[in-house]
A = this chain, B = another copy of it.
Amino acid sequence: MNLSASDITLFLVGISVMLFFARAFGEISRRFKQPIVMGEIVAGIVLGPTIFGMLFPDFFNLLFTSSKNISIAYEGLTTLAVIMLLLVSGLEVDLSVVLKQGKTAVTTSLMGVLFPFVVGFGAAYFFPELLGIVNIEQKLVFALFVGTALSITALPVVAKTLMDLNIFKSEIGTVIIASAMVNDLIGWIIFSIILSMLGTASHGLNFGATVGLTFLFIGVILVIGRKLINLVIPAIQTKTSFPGGVINFILILGFLGAAFTEYIGIHAIFGSFIIGIAIGDSAHLKEQTKEIIQQFITNIFAPLFFVSIGLRVNFIANFDIVIVLVFLILAFAGKVIGCGLGAYWGGMKKDDALAVGFGMNSRGAMEIILGILAFNFGLINEKVFVALVIMALFTSITSAPLMTIFLNRKKKSFKDLVNKNLIIVSEATDKTEVIKELASLCAATIKLNAEVIYEEVLKREEIIPTGIANTLALPHARLNIQKPIIAIALLKNEIDFEAADNIPSKIVILLLTPKTDNELQLKLLSEIAKYFGNKEKVDELLADFNPQSVYQKLVK
């Protein structure tokens, strides 16, 4: 028995306090529509030596630093926590989508590593003092380290941010996660070169072996392992107690994968992440099983890990504004420009590419792990370490809000909603006829009954006719749907929609928006009305009077 009764007491109280702070701050950030993980990291800073530890040093020291045994127990627990967190993140990855994003993921991740690396390496090599170098003779290694530090992306924070924003499985989410994977692999490989240059690599393998084994591991697990797992899962589900057997299977494989990658010198979390992907890909895996694992891990283990980050440092005592700002600017510039350009070159729209850039900007836990290693090996001092941590936290915390801006900007323009397949030429001769046509057109796309759509739109039409101006009619309704949708009819026969300018309509735009979002409907209505307020624009739009030309003029 290494843990005494008082160790156990303190360990339990410490965990309770960490979970409580994590939940409290997590809920606060949820109120502010921020990802819960952000609150959990802030909880750690508040609870750690920076605030709580400064105000009540005795209590803080008693809880978290009084016994080396307790520290080790915490470390074992948070290590498992981050490994399981990555395993769960992996379960959520849809490999087919990742592969589909192949080109974008490659350009994004390559640019997301190369550009920040060059920026960081250059800055540290030519202005080492500005970045707080300790030993000028280690300039090359230091510059390599800074380059790596800037090119790292925090897979677990990114994953949790994407889950919290509910875009984990979207195109942007998968591009980001796929890029972050490739990005981190490259980053950690570079870092292992640095470690071997310092002569401090903890594993017994040389650099080439590590890289080779890493790629071998990824290949074997994702190609052969994935198929084997898919074959084995149904057998486990029927032959062992359910869901216990599968839950064990998932965790055992995850831990073994983590052990393997840790052994070959890449961080343990890569192993569990890759295993997670391979398991999550199986169609036989039941939702119930995933739910149990995910809820327990994201609500108990993940918070413990994220809170533990803030417990390590006093952010005030070791704060150097110059170093902090330099690192922040380099970090933002390097990652957002690098990844943004990469995503843009990979074929994404500008706003999406920027969202990817900010999404990839999270440094979170990975940066801190890297920083702790460099700090332990004497390559950086406390101030640089604090700067790295602040940079890691700031990039992580700003990631979700900045992404949200670009995601929303994209989502809310009516032009982005215009769909080539939902523009028709209509021969209808009255209101109800053309509305019926457009309703049927939408019905297939949004999986609602055409009758339902038609009736809702007509109900609205009967209260106030929707003829706007300049030949535009804008019937609309709020329905039980997830996303707004627009369908357009060009009228062969002019129809009177009782517009204020008494001009009969030539173009009918049907706008359907989610019932839950009042603002969105108002915004889109006013946006469309504004566009059609300009007579010249409308004349130009309707000049050719065919769907294809209307589409191109609208989205250009």
Contact = CB atoms under 8 A, between A and B. Distances in A.
B296 A247 contact: yes
Interface stretch (A6-14, A96-104, A121-129): A6-14
Interface residues of A, number: 68
A80 interface: yes
Given A202-B4, A244-B295, A245-B23, A9 B259 contact: yes
B20 A240 contact: no
Nearest to A71: B2
A293 interface: yes
A291 interface: yes
Contacts of A4: 202
A11 B248 contact: no
Interface string A511-535: 0000000000000000000000000
A1 B372 contact: yes
Given A244-B298, A252-B19, A83 B373 contact: no
Interface in A70-90: 70-77, 79-80, 83
Contact of A255 (B16, B72, B203, B243): B16
**Copies assembled:** 2
A19 B255 CA distance: 10
Contacts of A351: none
Interface stretch (A137-145, A260-268, A340-348, A501-509): A260-268
A124 B153 CA distance: 65
A376 B244 CA distance: 36
A265 B5 contact: yes
A249 B299 CA distance: 10
Interface string A43-77: 00000000000000000000000001111111111
Contact of A27 (B36, B77, B245): B245
Nearest to A263: B9
A16 B295 contact: no
B72 A268 contact: no
Contact of A72 (B76, B252, B303): B76
A256 to B, nearest CB: 5
A251 interface: yes
B247 A79 contact: no
A33 to B, nearest CB: 13
14 contacts: A1-B372, A5-B265, A6-B263, A9-B259, A19-B252, A20-B248, A23-B248, A27-B245, A73-B73, A73-B76, A243-B299, A248-B299, A248-B303, A251-B300
Interface of A: 1-6, 8-13, 15-16, 19-20, 22-23, 26-27, 30, 36, 68-77, 79-80, 83, 202-203, 239-241, 243-245, 247-249, 251-252, 255-256, 258-259, 262-263, 265, 268, 291-293, 295-296, 298-300, 303, 372-373, 376
Q: Which 3 A-B pairs have the closest CB atoms?
A: A73-B76, A12-B259, A5-B202
Given A9-B259, A244-B298, 16 more contacts: A3-B79, A5-B202, A5-B263, A8-B262, A11-B76, A12-B83, A12-B258, A12-B268, A20-B252, A23-B245, A23-B249, A27-B239, A30-B241, A70-B76, A73-B79, A243-B295
